């Protein structure tokens, strides 16, 4: 059994003053080796109206991203309903249940964290983070939101930079999207 573990991703989403920004780093590591430094883990979907970021096994995360977009189509773009329906399927479907990934999604009005255990979490402060450096980025974002007048995109970017300075599984190749 291979004891090396794939580690990748810090994804952060912030909702503030009617705008949402999501940022993610580009590092993918296997054990102590950086396998890729410019992976894109934050994407616009559903005609650019929704931003999704993912952490975990890449193929699993891309499958979830595709399934979420299918749910958006099926439910006429009703964001929260699509998220709940995906979480239900993820928890109960034999194939989906084995997927090892997490997602953060936003439509600019809500931020939702989706997990394979059926959770659909809307953070009360509008800030969510996942991945190896998620807690570092989350802490930085909360401090910057509370103690600065930076824009939502500036907070997301600065928080990811702070996480990259602290977490060895996070780098400075940052993708940033705002809606």
Q: Name all domains of the chain by residue range, CATH numbers in brackets.
A: 6-165 (3.60.20.10)
9 is annotated as an active-site residue? yes
The b-or-e profile of 28-64 (16+ CB within 10 A means b, else e) is bbeeeeeeeeebebbbeebeeebbbbbbbebebbebb
Q: Which residue did the predictor score with more confidence, 65 or 129? A: 129
State the pLDDT confidence band at 119, using cuts at 50, 70 and 90. confident
Q: Which residue did the predictor score with more confidence, 141 or 33? A: 141
pLDDT of residue 1: 38
Q: Which of 26-35, 43-52, 90-99 has the lowest mean pLDDT?
A: 90-99
Mean pLDDT of 163-167: 95
Among the listed residues 9, 10, 106, 175, the single catalytic one is 9
Q: What is the pTM of this model?
A: 0.90
Mean pLDDT of 119-148: 95
């Amino acid at each position: 059994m291979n004891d090396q573990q794939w580690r990748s991703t810090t994804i952060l989403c912030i909702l503030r003053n009617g705008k949402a920004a999501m940022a993610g780093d580009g590092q993918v590591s296997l054990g102590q080796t950086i396998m890729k430094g410019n992976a894109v883990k934050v994407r616009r979907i559903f005609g650019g109206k929704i931003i999704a970021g993912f952490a975990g096994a890449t193929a699993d995360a891309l499958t979830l991203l595709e399934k979420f977009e299918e749910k958006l189509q099926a439910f006429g773009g009703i964001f929260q309903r699509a998220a709940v329906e995906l979480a239900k399927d993820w928890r109960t479907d034999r194939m989906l249940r084995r997927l090892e990934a997490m997602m953060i999604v936003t439509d600019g009005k809500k931020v939702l964290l989706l997990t394979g255990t059926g959770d659909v979490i809307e953070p009360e402060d509008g800030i969510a983070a996942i991945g190896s450096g998620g807690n570092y980025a989350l802490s930085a974002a909360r401090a910057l939101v509370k103690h600065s007048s930076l824009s939502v995109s500036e907070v997301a970017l600065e928080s990811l930079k702070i996480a990259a300075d602290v977490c060895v599984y996070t780098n400075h190749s940052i993708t940033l999207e705002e809606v």
